Amino acid sequence: EFLARYPNAGVKVLFLPHADLAARLVERKLDAALSIYPLQRQKRVLESRRLFDQELILVSGRKHYIANPRLRQIQQLPIVDYYENGELTRTWITHHYRADPGALRIRAHVGTVEFVLELIVKNIGVGVVPRDAAASLLASGALRQIKTRRRELSDSIWLSQIRGFAHEPIAARLIDEMMTAFSASSS
């Protein structure tokens, strides 16, 4: 919507580790960054504002679905995660089972939610994704949610930028519109 209203504006979206995002912000190579934790933890010159919370769920295709799984069953499943160490899956397992998951069977690690979902639908493994991102695939039956007796894991999305920095007008407008759009969608 923003680019449709401002056809001369340019937006560049990068997918980077948190440390790289924080460094690029400080170096003024980025106007703002979206992250899963506040980047001000890494660099004190940054300010971070929570945009919204999201529910993270474990999903599978038909092949790997288990109803009410035990920890041991989860540990044996092939995993599709965003990072080589299975950081998000580890967090989900620790939240649901209150135990260290030990060695995980990471079958693939990819950089986007869309690719994670695609691999799960193709029965490559199971993975943790935002509920909103999986909603249509869950509704169609292409994905199934693997549930435990615990409430689902919740995570926040943060917007970080240099504290007190005056952005160029178009960048400031984009940041303001993101703040408005995300706060409206979370209420």
pLDDT at 79: 96
The average pLDDT across 45-70 equals 95
Q: State pTM to two decimals.
A: 0.79
* Interatomic CA distance for residues 182 and 185, integer angstroms: 5
**What does the pLDDT look like over 8-42, one tens digit per residue?**
998 888 888 888 999 999 999 999 999 888 998 77
- pLDDT mean over 41-47: 85
Whether residue 93 contacts residue 70, with contact meaning beta carbons closer than 8 Å, is answered with no
Q: Give yes or no for residue 75 having a pLDDT over 70.
A: yes
Give the length of the chain.
Answer: 187
The per-residue pLDDT for 18 is 85
Strand partners, 146: 58
C-alpha span between 52 and 162 (Å, rounded): 20
pLDDT tens for each residue of 101-143 = 999 999 999 988 999 999 999 999 999 999 999 999 999 999 9
pLDDT the model gives residue 16: 81
Per-residue pLDDT at 42:
75
Whether 23 contacts 93, CB under 8 Å: no
Angle at 91 between CA 162 and CA 124, to 5 degrees: 110
Displacement of CA 176 from its chain's centroid (Å): 21
Residue 144: C-alpha distances to residues 36, 106, 108, 129 (Å): 24, 19, 19, 12
Q: What distance separates the 2 farthest-apart alpha carbons in the chain? A: 54
Instruction: Output the pLDDT for position 185.
Output: 63
Q: Determine the straight-line distance between the first and last CA of the chain, rounded to whole angstroms.
A: 20
Residue of higher predicted confidence among 57 and 179: 57
- Strand-pairing partners, residue 56, are 130, 153
Euclidean distance between CA atoms 167 and 16, whole angstroms: 22
